[in-house]
Amino acid sequence: MILFCIHSAQAQSLKDCDGNEYKTIKYGMQEWTATNLNVTHFLNGDVIPEAKTDEEWIKAGDEGKPAWCYFNNDPENRKKFGNLYNWYAVNDPRGLASKGWQVPASPDWSKLVKNLLGVDIAGTKLKSKTGWKSLNGTDNIGFAALPGGYRNEKGEFKELGSKCQWWANSEPLEVKKSNMIYSLMLNNHSIEVRFLKMNKSNGLSVRCIKDDTGR
C-alpha cells in the first residue's frame, strides 16, 4: 500500500506526514520551523532510506541517492536534534518539506542573517540559551539552534555538542560543476555565522521556511 502524505501548516505550527509537529517562528517577513526536521517520508509518501552503517551511508553518497540517519544511529538523539540528511534527500524532486514549506535556499539564510545584523554576531542570536559546550546563545527570535553535529561523507559522526549545520537547497553557480554546495554553520567557540561549502554526501540538519515568505 502506498502512503500518501497529508500535510497541514498553520501560523504557529505544522505537521508532517509522519505525524511530527513543529513549532514555527516569524521574524520579519520569514516564517521558519523552530526545530530540525525529522521526517522519514518524502511528500509523495515514498520512504526515505535510513543509512545506519558506514557502508550504507557511503554507498548512498557515491550513487547520489537520498539517505538519512540519527546522530550515532541513536533514536534518542532525534528527540532533541532531529535527523541528519544528505543533500540528495534535501534536493530530491519528491520533496522533503511539508506542502507550503521548503528547505531554504542560500538567499533565505542570507536574509535571516542580515536581519540579525550580519554574520559577525547573528550566531549568538540563533543559538539556544543552553546545550552548547561553551558560548551558549541568547536565542533572540526563538530559533533555538542546538549543536546536533553532523555526519561526514565517510559515515563518521562529528561535533555533537559543539556544532550545528543546515543545508541550503540551492547550488551556487560557482560550484555547480563540483560535488559541493553551501551550508550554514554555528559552532561553540564563536558568535559568528559561517557559510561553508559542503560535500553533498555529508549528513546535516534541515530547517524549513514557509513558501514565498521574505522573498
Number of domains composing the chain: 1
DSSP per-residue codes, 145-176: B--EEEE-TTS-EEEETTEEEEE-S---GGGT
| Global pTM value | 0.92
Q: Is residue 22 part of a domain?
A: no
Q: Judge whether residue 93 has pLDDT over 60.
A: yes
Q: Is residue 76 part of a domain?
A: yes
Q: Judge whether residue 16 has pLDDT over 70.
A: yes
Q: Is residue 25 part of a domain?
A: no
pLDDT, tens only, 32-46: 999 999 999 999 999
Q: Is residue 154 part of a domain?
A: yes
Q: Quick one: CA dihedral 111, 114, 116, 120, positive or negative?
A: positive
Q: Is residue 199 part of a domain?
A: yes
Q: Is residue 12 part of a domain?
A: no
Note the pLDDT of residue 180: 80
Range of the domain at 140: 31-210
On whether the CB atoms of residues 126 and 116 are closer than 8 A, the answer is yes
Q: Is residue 129 part of a domain?
A: yes
Q: Judge whether residue 121 has pLDDT over 50.
A: yes
The average confidence (pLDDT) of the chain is 91
Q: Binning pLDDT at 50, 70 and 90, where does residue 173 land?
A: low
On whether the CB atoms of residues 9 and 99 are closer than 8 A, the answer is yes
Note the pLDDT of residue 212: 75
